[in-house]
Structure 1
Amino acid sequence: MTVPGSPWIDLTGRVAAVTGAASGIGRAASHALANAGATVLLLDCDADAAAAVAWQICDVGGRAEARALDVASAADWQEVGDWIGTSFGRLDVLVNSAGVALKDSVGDAGLTNYHRTFAINVEGSLLGMEVALGFMRRAGKGAIINLSSSASLRGNPMMASYGASKAAIAHLTRSAAVEVLRAGHDIRINAVHPGLIETAMAGDLYKIYDRLGSPDAVRAAFTTGRSGRPEEVADLILFLASDRASYISGTSIVIDRAASA
């Protein structure tokens, strides 16, 4: 609970883990959480890139550490959970930001892209929640933010598995939120649905929809005038991680400048 006159968001003393932290929304969220006082654990399959972001945070007085993680690996998650328990003894916030967007269509031969997409986007988020909830149940509180997508709200030609995976994340979020609250834990779990955000994944999108023409043409088709910035999504994630969002759980918040309205 916040008190009148307190800083708008203060996460001092809390430990936050972010997957996909080496780039894009994950990187922006890591900076935002650290700026609010949290110790941030940057988890990414690219350990060197994650370490570089951690160094940037520490260089300006923040607290951050980086570690390699394949989010689709249960063994990797177990090792990360053990590390968090030994080194920090707590986990207050989890941001499941790691994800992939691969080109595929319903009816394509083979399930390769489907399996990879669901392994990273859905199973990775589920494994992260399992580890985080182990800490949060013992503490009786915590916050989890899962990255879904506005692509889950409409049909996606040539990106069917991606949209389906993000819809699955939103449903897992709702189910988990209800379960933990009814069990008596003050743990909030929410999903964030970004629209087109200027990240490396946006570059993949431009390639997938190159039939539309230039990146500007793709932006015109998928946005209401402009794409978003990772920092804009990070601000929403920071709010949901904080006590300012104490009565928000089990919901999906779309952040796409009315593109899907």
Structure 2
Amino acid sequence: MDGPWIDLSGQVAVITGAAAGIGQASAEAIARAGAAVILLDRDHVGVAAAAAALDKVGCKVVARTHDVTQENDWQALGDWIAAEWGRLDILVNSAGIARFDRVDASIFPTYHEVFAVNVEGTLRGMALALDHMRLVGRGAIVNVSSTASLKGNPAMASYGASKAAVSHFTRSAALETNRAGLDIRINAVLPGFTETGMAQQVYDQFDAKLGGREQTLQVFASGRPAQPAEIADLILFLVSDRASFISGSIYSIDRAQGA
């Protein structure tokens, strides 16, 4: 391919969970590659600030307050995209939450809360994106799963299970679009421990128990956490035409922590 390594000019992207962390870093990477980016988050102050920062450097961005668990929000978003943009080329499902729980009778409140955001929110995003992408027969979706989906977790059982579901739905949707003859690529990234607000929850819970920050990082991150931009670089590649033959793939990005 001629031109820049990755050029998303003329494309329209939606990023959920874009007020902070991996979502914000992904929105920045995709916007800097030339796409018009719609930043979504239920944190209306945070998402507005993220969009304003990108607007200052000349990126094409719009912020919308959006709760991924609410069907009405998705319906309004779909109608607005059709009216204002007429297309949707890229979706990054990054919105997610974690709660500390374990498998006993106390799990149900956290299970419902976590699955509503991480699983149902991801499914609603894919459903909206696929409605738009099927009209033109092409597009790219990346779902943010987690390496927590690959093994049991006695501290955050619902979180790991929800991310396993995200990976499974990713594979299933990719097979559906491929067998339908559509050039809609759907992949998932599985970050290891990443320096986000979710990481702060882990620090708050475990630093004192394990003997300090250094010990927590040795247990959870093989010495250091990933930075959100390091995860965003992989997401940017996967939504670009450089990854044109990649679909239904699940990529761990954890610096060999799970090896």
Tell me how far apart the structure 1 counterparts of residues 32 and 51 of structure 2 sit (CA, whole Å). 12
Which residue pairs with 1:166 in the alignment? Answer: 163
For residue 106 of structure 1, the aligned residue among 93, 103, 106 is: 103
Output aligned runs, 1:216-227, within 5 Å.
216-227=214-225
Give structure 1 stretches of 5+ with no counterpart: none
| Cα shift readout 1:81-116 (whole Å, capped 9, x = no counterpart) | 111111111110000000001000011425100000
Give the paired residue count.
258
Q: Is it true that 1:137 corresponds to 2:123 in the alignment?
A: no
User: For 1:136 and 1:259, how far apart are their aligned partners in 2?
Assistant: 35
User: What is the match of residue 232 of structure 1?
Assistant: 230
TM-score (norm 1): 0.97
Distance in 2 between the 1:231 and 1:30 partners? 10
Question: Does the 8 A contact of 2:214 with 2:223 survive in 1?
Answer: no
Compared CA separation, residues 110 and 200, structure 1 to 2 (3 A): closer
Candidates 112, 115, 120, aligned match of 2:112: 115
Matched-pair contact (CA < 8 Å) for 1:170–1:252 = yes
Cα separation, 2, equivalents of 1:250 and 1:69: 27
Contact 2:15 2:40 in 1 (8 A): yes
Deviation at 1:62, TM superposition (A): 0.5
Kindly provide the CA deviation profile for residues 50-88 of structure 1, in whole angstroms up to 9, marking residues without a partner as x: 111111111001100000111011111111111111111
- The equivalent of 1:247 in structure 2 is 245
Specify every segment of 5 or more residues in structure 2 that has no aligned partner in the other structure, as ranges: none
The amino acid of 1:260's aligned partner reads G
Q: Deviations over 1:124-180 (max 9, x none)?
A: 000000000011000110000000000001111110000000000000000000001
Of the structure 1 ranges 104-113 and 50-59, higher mean CA displacement relative to structure 2 is found in 104-113
* Partner of residue 23 from structure 2, selected from 26, 33, 38: 26
Aligned-CA RMSD value? 1.0
> In the aligned structure 2, how far is the partner of 1:213 from the partner of 1:65?
43
User: Could you list the runs of 4 or more consecutive aligned residues of structure 1 that deviate by over 4 angstroms after TM superposition?
Assistant: none
Contact map agreement 1:151 1:166 (CA 8 A) in 2: yes
Aligned pair partner of 1:189 in 177, 186, 202: 186
Match of 1:216, SS?
helix
Shift of 1:18: 0.3
TM normalised by structure 2 equals 0.97
1:216 Cα deviation from its structure 2 partner = 2.0
What is the SS of the residue equivalent to 1:142? strand
> Is the 1:158–1:208 Cα contact (8 Å) retained in structure 2?
no
- 1:96 and 2:86 aligned: no
- Equivalent residue for 1:180? 177
The residue type equivalent to 2:258 in the other structure is: S
In 2, distance between residues paired with 1:251 and 1:127? Answer: 20
Counterpart CA distance in 2 for 1:16 and 1:212 is 41
Aligned residue in 2 for 1:85:
82
Q: Give the secondary structure class of the aligned counterpart of 2:251.
A: strand
For residues 186-215 of structure 1, give each alpha carbon's deviation from its aligned partner in whole angstroms, at most 9, with x where no partner exists: 000000000011011100122233422323
